[in-house]
Amino acid sequence: MATEICSRFEEAFKLLGKRWTGLIINQLLDGAKRFNVLESEVKISGKVLSERLKELESLGIVSRFVYPETPVRIEYALTKKGYALKPIMDEVANWSVHWID
């Protein structure tokens, strides 16, 4: 059992510790956003943002919504699984305020 928990814990840290992933999740905690808004808020290249969003979507953390308008509008939002990260993100933010210079 401990080995199973350790491997899951390690996988969670690999995911959340991947560059830009935590910042993307943190921005989406405020609600759905368009690609260009995320790109400018996180200050990330479009290529890397696209890769991270696809990965988060494949893991069921982010959903992609396509609105058939002219021009087409695409928004990204956290799923229930993604919003479950909110308490963790809040605690990391609290910790950083107290311990990061």
Q: What is the pLDDT of residues 27-40, one digit of tens each?
A: 999 999 999 999 99
DSSP string, 58-86: HTTSEEEEEE--SS-EEEEEE-HHHHTTH
Record the pTM: 0.88
Please, is 4 exposed, middle or buried when counting C-beta atoms within 10 Å of its C-beta (0-12, 13-18, 19+)? exposed
**Which residues are paired to 75 by β-bridges?**
34, 65
16 vs 52: CA distance, rounded Å: 11
**pLDDT tens profile 81-100:** 999 999 999 999 999 999 99
Domains, the chain, with CATH or none? 20-99 (1.10.10.10)
Q: Which helix (H) or strand (E) element contains residue 34?
A: strand 33-34
